[in-house]
Amino acid sequence: MDQYSLVKVIGKGSFGRAILVQPINEEQNYVMKEIRLPKIDSGVRNSRREAVLLSRMKHPNIVAFKDSFEADGHLYIVMEFCSGGDLLQRIQQQKNVLFAEDVILNWFAQMCLGTRHIHEKRVLHRDLKSKNIFLTDSGTVKVGDFGSACSLNSAKAYAQTYVGTPYYVSPEIWDNKPYNNKSDVWSLGCVLYELCTLQHPFQSCSWKNLILKVCRGAYAPLPSHFSYELHYLIKHMFKTNPRDRPSVHTILSSHRVSRLLHKHMMPENKERERTHHWRREEGEKVAMFLEQKSFVTRTTTEGPLQVEQSPVVNNSIDDPSSHKRWVVGTCSTVLGVLGNADIISTGSMANTERADLISEVKCVEIQERRVRKQWDRDPPERLLSVLEKVQLCYGFETYTIHRDEHGDKVDGHEETITNYSRLEPRSDDEDTDFEEEYSYDLINELEKMMDEHKK
């Protein structure tokens, strides 16, 4: 503590103060968060988690960790100072003058880059909102406040469940489903919408209607001057079924908006994105290669050559010794279709012998759309009746509910259980599996919380 001099208090959160400090031997200012340590051990462990998780993040779009220590019953976390304030403050300063689309896309691309880094570390932020996204003097956007975040490799993180800040909470949370990476995407969608309209996407004068709107994904359309891509992105980020929402990785690499986002990225960020992008020259090279490549795939010792059935046009199926070839022209059409397709499930391909690949792809897309429609559902009645009794002014607060410790058998400061299968790289169509393993009776917890408020 002695190595920092106090400049001023910049704000108060629900767990303590945020103080602007300067290290004795440095010119630069930092923010020191002072968090009262609770009396009980589990509470102390939860408080320390913010420091542990923040220290694991190293990315230009995440508030940088400097130091943490404990003194006089407080935990202190020292981090980078973002002198441009938070996005909520910036939105309020606008006084109803909308931001230009260029500015919005530039900020949003940076938010996505920061959030993708968090998700790549198998961490869920769980409280993304305009108040937790900061700006530096140079206009760099930084995701901050890991007070609600949880690591999927940490058993103790499961000891508490999440409510978040109700205006930013996704439909699956109200439906008692586990929090997952797409729930963070929903919250990012809320921030993006706020930047576009200076309003919350889901607003109402009662909680009941607010949650109804969230669960139905019912929001007022963006002003029409915004690009088609931005409208399309918002629509997808507010899909009520998390499986239909794009992951942050998809938004940055293969969504209809990706190209537009890349245009607004800093050169250093573009460099990494380029490696993820399907470039035309590369596509043509692959097409040429496939065209030349022979396609016999399996032989047996006893019988003649077995030609594996595939969706490739076969010129001489009756002659087992001849090679199958990709037909000139097919590849570029396939690439065209693949370029426009969303996520393609290859599972059903094997059932269709020598099917035309292009119509197969289209068919899978149509089937997926049909299945997706069935997911729409109304929010639970019990939740709605609870919400009728709640005051809307609680909507901006972050809520965290602590689980009963007895069931956890979590003891000791740094205990973690690593589930290695969760650390494996995943393809985009699997990425909703990145979620908390426990689910809770959130409504029951809310009822208890309301009772406490009344006392």
Ligand X SMILES: Nc1ncnc2c1ncn2[C@@H]1O[C@H](COP(=O)(O)OP(=O)(O)OP(=O)(O)O)[C@@H](O)[C@H]1O
User: Interface with ligand X by CB under 6 A: which range of 14-22, 94-102, 272-280, 362-370?
Assistant: 14-22
Instruction: Give CA angle at 219 (128, 249), nearest 5°.
Output: 40
Closest residue to bound ligand X by CB: 13
Q: Look up residue 292 and give its two tokens.
A: 């030349």
Q: Within positions 325 to 384, which residues make up the interface with ligand X, using CB under 6 A?
A: none
Q: 127 an active-site residue?
A: yes
- Alpha helices for 175-316 (secondary structure H): 181-197, 207-216, 228-237, 248-253, 258-263, 267-276, 280-292
Phi, psi of 147 (to 5 degrees): -65, -25
Among residues 110 and 398, whose Cβ is nearest to ligand X?
398
> Choosing from 2, 67, 86, 127, which is the catalytic residue?
127
Among residues 144 and 217, whose Cβ is nearest to ligand X?
144
With 0-12 / 13-18 / 19 or more C-beta atoms within 10 angstroms meaning exposed / middle / buried, residue 351 is: exposed
Q: Within positions 140 to 179, which residues make up the interface with ligand X, using CB under 6 A?
A: 144-145, 147
Which letter, b or e, does each residue of 243-260 get, where b requires 16 or more Cβ atoms within 10 Å of its Cβ? bbbbbbbbbbbbbebbeb
User: Interface with ligand X by CB under 6 A: which range of 6-14, 42-50, 212-220, 433-441?
Assistant: 6-14
15: contact with ligand X by CB under 6 A: yes
245: contact with ligand X by CB under 6 A: no
Report which of 163, 175, 184 is spatially closest to residue 247, judged by C-alpha positions.
Answer: 184
Has 33 been labeled as part of a binding site? yes
Q: Within positions 44 to 73, which residues make up the interface with ligand X, using CB under 6 A?
A: 63
Among residues 14 and 416, whose Cβ is nearest to ligand X?
14
By DSSP bridging, strand 141-143 and strand 65-71 are unpaired
Report which of 281, 292, 31, 290 is spatially closest to residue 145, judged by C-alpha positions.
Answer: 31
Among residues 36 and 276, whose Cβ is nearest to ligand X?
36
- Where do the DSSP E strands lie in 98-185? 123-124, 133-135, 141-143, 150-151, 160-164
Please check whether residue 150 is in contact with residue 434, taking contact to mean a CB–CB distance below 8 angstroms. no
Q: Considering the complex, what minimum distance in angstroms separates the CB of residue 145 from ligand X?
A: 5
Out of 45, 119, 131, 213, which residue is the one contacting ligand X (CB under 6 A)? 131
CA Rg, the chain, in Å? Answer: 25
Among residues 136 and 322, whose Cβ is nearest to ligand X?
136
Please check whether residue 150 is in contact with residue 124, taking contact to mean a CB–CB distance below 8 angstroms. yes
399: contact with ligand X by CB under 6 A: no
81: contact with ligand X by CB under 6 A: yes
User: Interface with ligand X by CB under 6 A: which range of 12-20, 45-53, 221-229, 364-372?
Assistant: 12-20
Residues that bind ligand X (CB under 6 A): 10-11, 13-15, 18, 31, 33, 63, 79-82, 86, 131, 134, 144-145, 147, 398
| Residues belonging to the active site | 127
